[in-house]
Structure 1
Amino acid sequence: MSTVDELLAADRTLLLVDDDKTFLTRLERAMQKRGFDVRIADTVAGGLAAVSEAPPAYAVVDLRLEDGNGLDVVAALHQKRGDARAVVLTGYGNIATAVTAVKLGAVDYLSKPADAEDVINALLATGNKPPEPPENPMSADRVRWEHIQRVYELCDRNVSETARRLNMHRRTLQRILAKRAPK
């Protein structure tokens, strides 16, 4: 085990940044049970303040927050503490964002919903060995639904524009949007 790994093993400080309060509370409890000293924030501003006050050894940051982009928190953490390990969570994942997250210092990029075990495996993976794949990855239907939701949000919730960009009939899109997310 390297010196950096030893330091991180001793320092179990963790910052959780997510605007989904229910998810944030659940993940906070789960991580505390696993021995982490957890601080939480529900905005980019709160995450940046926590990083500047006392940079944690670990961070789990949602990509899209109400007041901005969670990658700003990852970048600030990497500047303050180069050895910190950050994981980015998102329900709106794409390859370009994942690459940007890694370039800014994130060690992994997980799609929501992620459970505590997936997060811990990503945070504590060492060396060049990637973390184990998730036990229950998202289904193809869920990935499709997430993509449609992402484009819908990027089109400012305009159904006609979203349907045009997805090359889909407007009524078909309306039916998809009216349904619950698949598992």
Structure 2
Amino acid sequence: MAAERLLLIVEDDEAFARTLRRSFERRGYAVLGAASLEAVSGLLQEARPSHAVVDLKLGKESGLAVVRYLHERDPDLLIVVLTGFASIATAVEAIKLGACNYLVKPANTDDIEAAFGGESLPEPAEAPMTARATSIKTLEMERIHEVLAETGFNISETARRLGMHRRTLARKLAKRWVP
């Protein structure tokens, strides 16, 4: 298998990761899987992927920490962030940390491959912009993710800067919120 087709999938949802793996393998990629930053660092001891798909929320971890780690290890690695919790702040932060694109779930293999910059794929359809009021919860989570990134994903320091108890912040991060 050519080295330029090695894909790393960082996803804590086993069923979704398995589906992505099979789909990319049918397209000729060799695929590695991980569910946490620790697992990613172990895999990178033995392999050097050319592409990565990273979920924004990995259990209690932030996928942004994984993006930062991957980009620091290999600036040429093409990283696409997938999320069910889209926000402008996390999209901007993901790009700043080294992701080449940011997609909202559900995204299929065609969308992800196009996000890597596949030349043979058609242009993705333009989604119409809608005027939608931003909820307080969405704004709160955007601010939390922004401060998390500023503090290097240090929960205690983030809680201090936000003026909340560390356990309160941990509970907010553990919730599955929908914007």
Is TM-score (shorter-chain normalized) higher than 0.5? yes
**Structure 2: gaps of 5 or more residues:** 142-177
Post-superposition offset of 1:80: 1.3
1:120 to 1:31, Cα distance in 2 relative to 1, 3 A: same
1:132 to 1:25, Cα distance in 2 relative to 1, 3 A: same
Higher relative contact order, structure no. (Cα contacts within 8 Å, ≥ 6 residues apart):
2
CA distance in 2, matches of 1:10, 1:20: 26
TM-score with structure 1 setting the length: 0.64
CA distance in 1, matches of 2:87, 2:96: 15
Q: Which of residues 12, 16, 25 is equivalent to 1:23?
A: 16
**Structure 1: gaps of 5 or more residues:** 1-8, 155-180
Structure showing greater Rg: 1
CA distance in 2, matches of 1:70, 1:52: 19
- Whether the 8 Å CA contact 2:56–2:81 is kept in 1: the answer is yes
TM-score with structure 2 setting the length: 0.66
In the alignment, what sits opposite 1:69? 62
Tell me the matched-pair count. 139
Post-superposition offset of 1:10: 5.4
Post-superposition offset of 1:52: 4.1
In the alignment, what sits opposite 2:114? 121
CA distance in 2, matches of 1:38, 1:14: 5
Post-superposition offset of 1:49: 2.3
CA distance in 1, matches of 2:49, 2:67: 11
Post-superposition offset of 1:132: 2.4
Tell me whether 1:133 sits opposite 2:133 in the alignment: no
- Whether the 8 Å CA contact 1:44–1:67 is kept in 2: the answer is no
Post-superposition offset of 1:134: 4.7
Q: Which of residues 58, 79, 97 is equivalent to 1:104?
A: 97
CA distance in 2, matches of 1:51, 1:77: 9
- Whether the 8 Å CA contact 1:86–1:107 is kept in 2: the answer is yes
- Whether the 8 Å CA contact 1:43–1:67 is kept in 2: the answer is no
CA distance in 1, matches of 2:22, 2:128: 24
1:139 to 1:35, Cα distance in 2 relative to 1, 3 A: farther
